[in-house]
Amino acid sequence: MKFVGLDIGTTSICGLVLDAQTGCVLASETRRNDTALSSDKDWERIQDPAAILEITTAILDSFISVHDNIGGIALTGQMHGIVYVNEKGNAASPLYTWQDGSGNRPYRNGKTYAEVMSGQTGYPISSGMGCVTLYHHLLNGCVPGDAACICTIHDYVSMKLVGKTAPKMDPTDAASLGCFNLQSLRFDEQALAKAGLDSSILPEIVPSSEELGKTKQGIPVYAAMGDNQASFLGAVKEMDRSVLVNVGTGSQVSAYLDEYIETPGLDIRPFPSGGYLYVGAPLCGGRSFSLLKDFFSKTLVLFTGQTSDAIYDIMATVPFDHLPEKELLNVDARFAGSRSVPEVRGSIENIGMNNLTPENLVLSFQMGMAKELYDLYTLFPEPLKHKVQSLAGSGNGVRKNKVLQQCLEKQFKYPIRIPVYEEEASYGAALLAGLGAGFFQHINEVGRLIRDKAPDGAILR
């Protein structure tokens, strides 16, 4: 049996065909998401839903034209963002992405729209969350006149694939919009009403992997899920015993627990088939390494007048053990602040007469990145940490950087396992389709398909 997973990211759209018997990826395709639209409002970050649908459908059609026996399709993608849908099931607006800055605009009494809405509803709200984008639009008369519903972009595409006119949303995506009760797994309608929002514009909540309908070829499509949960599902072999670190442009540390425990400083997100994903997300994350690369680039230009495209590659060759540990610089990588203390800034300490070198900066920055992720992990509930027995890694920042892998292993005290296939979110979506189709009887079974790379490049079962 084969299953298709599709991932609608902010900058790329990816899909794959999974052989559910072996766990092998039979085909994969990635295309640029070049659907960004210009806006006269500098806080908006918008994309074209019709163009996204066209790209996603083209990838899917290319798979269907070659592969038979496809048992199901599931999507994942960028959470938080929203598109308005009219009663005919057509997009009534652009996609307002998770990067949309409406919530950060000043509103009243020196507070932003997000801050005011947080006070009204009692829920922590950040700019980019769909509910605060809706709140801003409502107060500024920007809600489309024919809008009947809001949904994520992957909910929209899932709906269009099966020819329906009303989107449906699973709890993993619904929670990303804000004002969502994590225990009842429903939007808090009373809280929304306090902010003047009519909950009738919200989509129907359905269980993860519920069948939405069939494509024109007769292939079932299952309810989409958020990309954080999809990446976790597609990267860890034992979901209740693993901690996942993901480093790309941003970074996250995630682990699963079957019970809800209020934990300050963390995001708690519903997980398909029950339980929760506990997530620590630095604000700077993988951009820390980019910050250092830019510093070296500017230094090179200042002293030589030249630029180089090889700086990243050179940085990746710095050996892990080139200095005694006591000579390492202490780098606090909170260069963009933190969620709990927005005003905090990064720092570099332990500078001596002999250790302020480019090599030490490269290594110490990565140690700082790893430490920030580990410090967030220490906030995880004790019952969760008690179960963890392994470390998994994903994202190009981990995959392509052996030094960062070693830094993470040093912090977490586990050898790091990296999945063979890079498309973790698409892989997770395909596994979800297998769950919806009944190929897997329980979500705990899906991890048996994931294969990891050994340090020498060999493939581990």
- Residue ranges and CATH numbers for the domains of the chain are 30-53+73-219 (3.30.420.40), 238-418 (3.30.420.40)
CA distances from 176 to 151, 248, 305, 424 (A): 11, 20, 46, 20
The CA distance from 245 to 418, in Å, is 10
Q: Are 12 and 30 in contact (CB under 8 A)?
A: yes
Structure-token pair, residue 256? 């699963």
User: 290-298: long-range contacts at Cβ-Cβ below 8 A with a sequence spacing of 24 or more?
Assistant: 290/249, 291/335, 292/361, 292/362, 292/365, 296/358
What local confidence, expressed as pLDDT, does residue 177 receive? 96
What local confidence, expressed as pLDDT, does residue 263 receive? 92
The CA distance from 132 to 117, in Å, is 7
Half-sphere exposure of 61 (CA within 13 A, CB side): 8
Looking at 274-383, which runs of residues are DSSP E strands?
276-280, 330-332, 347-349
CA distances from 181 to 79, 124, 404 (A): 17, 12, 36
The CA distance from 355 to 366, in Å, is 16
Sign of CA pseudo-dihedral 49, 55, 57, 60:
negative
Q: Please enumerate in sequence order all residues whose Cβ is within 8 A of that of 455, keeping only pairs 6 or more positions apart, or say none.
A: none
The CA distance from 15 to 26, in Å, is 11
What local confidence, expressed as pLDDT, does residue 218 receive? 96
Distance of CA 75 to the CA centre of its chain: 13
Residue given tokens 């063979």 in the structure block: 420
Half-sphere exposure of 441 (CA within 13 A, CB side): 0
Structure-token pair, residue 143? 């809600």
Sign of CA pseudo-dihedral 362, 363, 368, 373:
positive
Q: How far apart are the first and last CA of the chain?
A: 20
The CA distance from 244 to 167, in Å, is 31
Query: How many Cβ atoms from other residues are within 10 Å of residue 275's Cβ?
Result: 15
Q: What is the pTM of this model?
A: 0.88
Dmax (CA) for the chain in angstroms is: 70
If you average pLDDT over every residue of the chain, what do you get? Answer: 92
What tens digit of pLDDT does each residue of 230-269 get?
Answer: 999 999 999 989 999 988 777 889 999 999 999 988 999 9
What tens digit of pLDDT does each residue of 378-399 get?
Answer: 999 999 999 999 999 988 888 8
Structure-token pair, residue 93? 């607006």
Sign of CA pseudo-dihedral 8, 12, 17, 18:
negative
The CA distance from 279 to 258, in Å, is 14
Sign of CA pseudo-dihedral 254, 260, 266, 271:
positive
Q: Please enumerate in sequence order all residues whose Cβ is within 8 A of that of 306, keeping only pairs 6 or more positions apart, or say none.
A: 300
Band the pLDDT of 455: cuts 50, 70, 90.
low
Residue given tokens 């005919």 in the structure block: 88
What tens digit of pLDDT does each residue of 278-325 get?
Answer: 999 887 777 888 899 999 999 999 999 998 988 988 888 888 776 677
Is the confidence at residue 42, as pLDDT, over 50?
A: yes
Is the confidence at residue 458, as pLDDT, over 60?
A: no
Is the confidence at residue 359, as pLDDT, over 80?
A: yes
How much of the chain, in percent, has pLDDT values that exceed 70? 97
Looking at 22-167, which runs of residues are DSSP E strands?
25-32, 36-37, 46-47, 70-77, 83-85, 95-96, 106-108, 111-112, 149-151
Structure-token pair, residue 102? 């409406």
The one-letter amino acid code at 135 reads Y
Average pLDDT over residues 343-350: 88
Is the confidence at residue 179, as pLDDT, over 70?
A: yes
Query: How many Cβ atoms from other residues are within 10 Å of residue 458's Cβ?
Result: 8
Band the pLDDT of 434: cuts 50, 70, 90.
very high
